[in-house]
Amino acid sequence: DEPAVLSVTQRMLERAGYVVICAADGQAAVDAFRQHADRIDLAVIDVTMPILSGTEVSAILRREKPDLHIILTSGYSAQDIQSRASGNSVAGFLQKPFRPQELLEMVSKAFPAD
């Protein structure tokens, strides 16, 4: 995503105790995932990214790690995203701009208590 949004999102997740790996574009996200796949349980992916779109990235990550939790974000509406991401199972969707608490709640919902 945009560097400022990426930085803010990273800080808010780290403050909540999560370990965060960031990527500035779709290909960098796939590369980072492949390098750290064993340590990654959740991906927060913007639908609109350079090089590879967020829906392309989520499809690649889903093929490589079917149990990966994926949250998509976008300035587009949820209805627009559903048509773009059809067949691509995701744990949730956050429309931008979102509040920090909304992101943390979505992340928490991706990992329901046993």
Residue 59 DSSP class: H
pLDDT at 111: 72
Please say whether the beta carbons of 54 and 45 come within 8 A. yes
The two three-digit tokens of residue 59, written as one number: 């499809």
User: Residue type for 23, please?
Assistant: A
Q: How many CB atoms lie within 10 A of CB 103?
A: 20
Q: Using an 8 Å Cβ cutoff, are 9 and 103 in contact?
A: yes
Could you state, in chain order, the average pLDDT of each consecutive group of 10 residues for the chain (114 residues)?
84 93 95 96 92 93 94 75 57 86 90 61
pLDDT score at 75: 81
